[in-house]
Amino acid sequence: MLNIVLFGPPGAGKGTQSQKLIEKYQLIHLSTGDLLRSEIAQGTQLGLQAKKLMDEGLLVPDEVVIGMIESKIADNRTAAGFIFDGFPRTVPQAEALDQLLEKYDQGISCMIALQVDEEELTKRLLLRGKTSGRPDDADETLIRKRVQEYNTKTTPVADYYAQQGKFYAVDGIGEIEEIFTKSCEIIEACQVA
């Protein structure tokens, strides 16, 4: 089974690249952002709690996110694999994900990190805020806070996967197809290994 962690700060292009990887490898998309937005749209208690945190530029607690992911994995036991988009963001989440996957006799195949500098991210997110209607993408102060929180909390996750020999960096600035090709080359190499 192919399980990919697609890593990168908000605005790095994870959504675009994940869609292309999903089509090519027939993976199930596990985007914690999409899962949370779905809960918010449904007005669930979890959704309301998540919305309050997200509006403040904060992350949702691990146990809530892990529970949602486990439910998706359990519902898709015959899938070709999963692409984890925007998760894990902390080492405890990465450890919890490894433990969760072990329960299903699986593991992470590789982590692809899209690397984009803060100024480019801010530009992309402000532009996305104009077209997406997402309030968290329309406020430059919130954007910078999200990027700072991402950098503080998630850099150790890259180290965690690097220690397992599963971390691969890809320049997230450039043509979409070029970034996709580089990502596919990494995946092919991980499948052979």
Can you tell me whether residue 77 is helix, strand or coil? coil
- Is the pTM of the predicted complex or chain greater than 0.85? no
pLDDT at 121: 93
**Tens of pLDDT along 108-160?**
999 999 999 999 999 999 999 888 877 778 889 989 998 888 888 888 999 99
Backbone angles phi, psi at 174, to 5 degrees: 145, -165
Report the CATH number at residue 145.
3.40.50.300
Tens digits of per-residue pLDDT, 20-72?
999 999 999 998 878 878 778 888 777 888 888 878 887 778 877 887 788 78
| Active-site residue, selected from the candidate residues 51, 124, 146, 166 | 146
Predicted local confidence at residue 79, as pLDDT: 95
Residue 146 bears catalytic tag: yes
Q: Which residues are annotated as a binding site?
A: 11-16, 32, 37, 58-60, 86-89, 93, 128, 134, 146, 174
Q: State yes or no: cis peptide before 9, omega within 30 of 0.
A: no
- CA 39/CA 49 separation, integer angstroms: 10
Question: What share of the chain has pLDDT > 90, as a percent?
Answer: 55
Short-list 169, 184, 185, 161, CA closest to 9: 169
Catalytic residue among 128, 144, 145, 153: 128
Q: What residues pair up with 3 in beta bridges, in sequence order? A: 82
For residue 193, give both structure tokens: 């290994």
What is the spatial distance between Cα 10 and Cα 124, in angstroms, rounded to a whole number?
9
Q: What residues form the annotated binding site for AMP?
A: 32, 37, 58-60, 86-89, 93, 134, 146
* pLDDT for res 100: 94
Tokens of 36: 């949370």
* 89 given a catalytic annotation: yes
Count of domains forming the chain: 1
The answer to whether residue 128 is catalytic is: yes
pLDDT tens for residues 179-188?
A: 999 999 999 9
Active-site option among 24, 52, 103, 134: 134
Q: Which of 14, 51, 124, 166 is catalytic?
A: 14
Q: Which domain holds residue 54?
A: 2-192
51, 89, 124, 166: which one is catalytic?
89
